[in-house]
Amino acid sequence: MESLNYQPYLDKLIAFASSDDRKQDLLAARAEYFKLTGEVHEDDKSFEMRMASFFDWYLFDRPANGTGQTPAQEFFHRFAAQFSPQEAAAFRDFTETRHGLFEVRKIKKGQLRLRDLLTNKDYDVTERRTVAGLQKGDIIEARLIPHEGHLLFSSAFLFHPRESTRAILKEVKRRKKKEPERDLRELIWETSRMALKVDRYRQIAVEKIYDFEQKKL
Neighbours of 8 (CB within 10 A): 9
| Residue at 98 is within a domain | yes
d(CA 192, CA 37): 6
- Whether residue 123 is predicted with pLDDT greater than 90 in this model: the reply is yes
- Whether residue 1 is predicted with pLDDT greater than 50 in this model: the reply is no
> Concatenated DSSP letters for 118-178?
TT--EEEEE--S--TT--TT-EEEEEEEEETTEEEEEEEEEEEPGGGHHHHHHHHHHHHHH
67 with 27, same domain: the answer is yes
d(CA 89, CA 70): 17
| Residue at 2 is within a domain | no
140 with 180, same domain: the answer is no
* C-beta separation of 174 from 129 below 8 A: no
d(CA 156, CA 187): 17
| Residue at 216 is within a domain | no
86 with 133, same domain: the answer is yes
Tell me the pLDDT tens digit for each residue of 39-74.
Answer: 999 999 999 999 999 999 999 999 987 789 999 999
Provide CB contacts within 8 A for 182, sequence distance 6+.
Answer: 175
Please tell me the total count of domains within the chain. 2
Tell me the pLDDT tens digit for each residue of 65-79.
Answer: 778 999 999 999 999
CATH code assigned at 133: 2.40.50.140
Residue 217: the pLDDT is 42
Tell me the pLDDT tens digit for each residue of 132-188.
Answer: 788 999 999 999 999 999 999 999 999 999 999 999 999 999 999 999 999 989 999
H helices of the chain, where?
7-17, 23-37, 47-60, 71-79, 85-93, 165-178, 185-200, 206-209
Residue 3: the pLDDT is 59
93 with 174, same domain: the answer is no
| Sign of the C-alpha dihedral computed for residues 92, 72, 143 and 121 taken in this order | negative
Q: How confident is the model at residue 206 (pLDDT cuts 50, 70, 90)?
A: very high
| Residue at 146 is within a domain | yes
153 with 167, same domain: the answer is no
- Whether residue 214 is predicted with pLDDT greater than 80 in this model: the reply is no
| Residue at 215 is within a domain | no
Residue 215: the pLDDT is 57
Residues of the domain holding 134: 7-162
Taking the model in full, what pTM does it have? 0.92
| Residue at 193 is within a domain | yes
Percent of the chain with pLDDT over 70: 97
| Residue at 217 is within a domain | no
